[in-house]
Amino acid sequence: MTLISERSIITAYPWKTDAITTEVVRHALETIADEMGTSLKRTALSVVIKDMRDYTCAVLHKDGSLLAAALTIPNLLASMEPALRACLEKWGSNINPGDVLITNHPYKGSAHSNDLQVFVPAFDDDGVLLGFTGSIAHHADWGGTVPGTVQSAALSVFEEGVLLPALKLESGGVPNDTIYEIIEANTRYPAQNFGDLRGQLASARTGAQRFADLFRKYGNQRMWDVCDDLLGYTEQRTRRAIERFADGVYEAVGYLDDNGVERGVPVRIGVRVTVAGDTMTFDFEGTDLQMRSGMNVPYASTLSVVHYAAHCILPDDIPFNAGANVPLTVKAPVGSLVNPTMPSAVGARHITTERMASVVTRALVRVAPERSSAEWSVGWPCLFAESWSPKTGEGVAVLLNVAGGAGAKDCGDGADGLDAHMSNCALVSAEAVESGYMLRVEQFSLIRDSGGHGEFRGGLGIRADYRNISPSVMYARTEVEQSVEEFLPIGLAGGQSGIATTSALIDAKGVKTPLPPKETTFLKPDEIISLRAGGGAGYGDPKNRDRDLVLADIALSKVSREAALDVYGVELSQ
């Protein structure tokens, strides 16, 4: 967006306060959310939060509207508003200083049961409610039928651990011991859960103090006016940006390999994006019905997909808050896999949202080609296991993800080893794995030739091999998508697809046995489980790739000599 057009919006907007104060407060709110995230990362107990960083934190208006968020995990961004509003609907004006609200119910505003949401209200010195700060964090195990809770093979939400509707974890500063006892009685490693929960409480309380300090600085009424301006101006900016897109209907269809239960039966995801003036509508009519598996997507997560995809093509300097989402309408048919009904299982919804994001962003390629890329690898191979800590001897739940490649653009190669779209989790280091679990990292490397070839090459996927170094059999489960050749990432302008995502079991003698995409196994001592992420798609005809770039890829073992000759036409002297 040009400076002139932004000036015109600033001039035309009916400010209650002024643009400068609003911008200063906006950054203060975003800093509060980021500080909360840093606090949570440093005080949590599990590797999932402190190393993978599977969490986000936010500051919310007293009416539940999102004011600012730590932009960490896109899949979590739209969950906090509906979850807090569910709490407000239940508790109304009965929210007091010292209260802590908690929920994880996927049919009451949340995503899936492992994602625990904690909200702390902020009050002024006279006891007036100012707003809320909160966090949502993935707990490595939350009970249910399998270690780690999440599984595509779940048939009901009741298999997916402890469901908590909008509850008060604390009332007036007094903990509700009953809730703690329920969590302890229904999760495998409650010490790990309580350690992470304490981190969430500490970060939210820190945020609430900072939020209240802003009101002390500016005064209550002025701060509420600033918040109204922030949301209203953000909405105006978003509308003006959408107006620059060509009106029209943009469609895309994609498929899951299967639903994790009925193997080999593809599942359809379709979206129709309508750009009309200053609005965008995302209609998932034509998407398959809810599945008899744990890969359904609750409505809050469908919102997250749409908000993420839309912001990928909007100007970078538009804030992410409730105002930015007002011009976006989401139509998700009730009873479909993108808006299931109780008690459909949703624990493995992350796998589906990755494919949804791929489909929606492909539909948006024609809306904003300059902001788009070829498709990414969205297979998201991950390992769930049950182990114990070599440091403490205590049992722990294991969740490790492996990243694939990003799609190439018309101006450059896709990024290697990037956790796709809705995830953005950090990769867990070998040091964290080996110090926290009875696993040894045998290999963690980019896979040569895994990215789609093109004038600009798709990003490479990662191979990660984990050896069971315990003296006993270890429960292990892999969840892998995009393993079917027909559904690989699609290239642009002649670019090729990346490779599929796979997993394998390697015995003590080095014999490799391929595993089904979504499989439970028992890892014997000294056996290896190997996860291999796919690559992103390429952009443009490979024959047009600069020869020096091909030579650099060969030197870095990203492209083989054979591919250099056969695909790129680059012949090397011996």
The reported pLDDT for the residue numbered 11 is 80
Contact partners, residue 331, CB within 8 Å, separation at least 6: 281, 282, 283, 284, 285
Task: Look at residues 322, 324, 319 and name the one whose alpha carbon lies nearest to residue 28.
Answer: 319
* Tokens, residue 388: 């114990």
DSSP reduced 3-state for 440: strand
Cα–Cα dist 55/418, whole Å: 17
How far apart CA 328 and CA 278 sit, in angstroms, is 9
Tell me the three state secondary structure of residue 125. Answer: coil
Domain spans in the chain, listed from the N-terminal domain onward: 3-236, 377-574
Indicate the DSSP class of residue 289. B
Rounded CA separation 106/73 (Å): 17
Among 95, 124, 318, 85, which residue's Cα sits nearest to residue 222?
A: 124
Strands (E), 8-65: 55-61
Token readout for 533 is 């992420």
Asked if 204 and 36 touch (Cβ cutoff 8 Å), the reply is yes
At residue 8, the pLDDT reads 75
- Predicted pLDDT at 393: 87
Q: How many CB atoms lie within 10 A of CB 184?
A: 13
Per-run averaged pLDDT (10 residues), the chain, 574 residues: 60 91 97 96 93 95 96 87 96 96 96 96 97 96 95 96 97 97 96 96 97 97 97 96 97 96 94 98 98 97 96 93 97 98 97 96 95 93 92 89 95 94 92 94 97 98 97 95 95 96 93 93 96 97 96 96 95 73
Report d(CA 480, CA 518) in Å as an integer.
6
Q: What is the pLDDT of residue 78?
A: 86
Question: In this structure, what token pair is assigned to residue 233?
Answer: 């101006």
Name the residue with tokens 């779209």. 421
Segment (H or E) for 319: none
pTM of the model: 0.94
CA atoms in the 13 A half-sphere facing the CB of 123: 13
How many Cβ atoms are within 10 Å of 562's Cβ, its own excluded? 9
* pLDDT at residue number 5: 61
Q: What is the pLDDT of residue 296?
A: 98
The 3-class secondary structure across 473-499, one letter per residue, is CEEEEEECCCCCHHHCCCCECCCCCCC
Lateral strand order in the sheet of 474-479: 395-401, 382-388, 474-479, 518-523
Q: Which residues are within 8 A (CB) of 231 and not within 5 positions of it... i.e. 6 or more apart? A: 61, 65, 67, 321, 322, 323
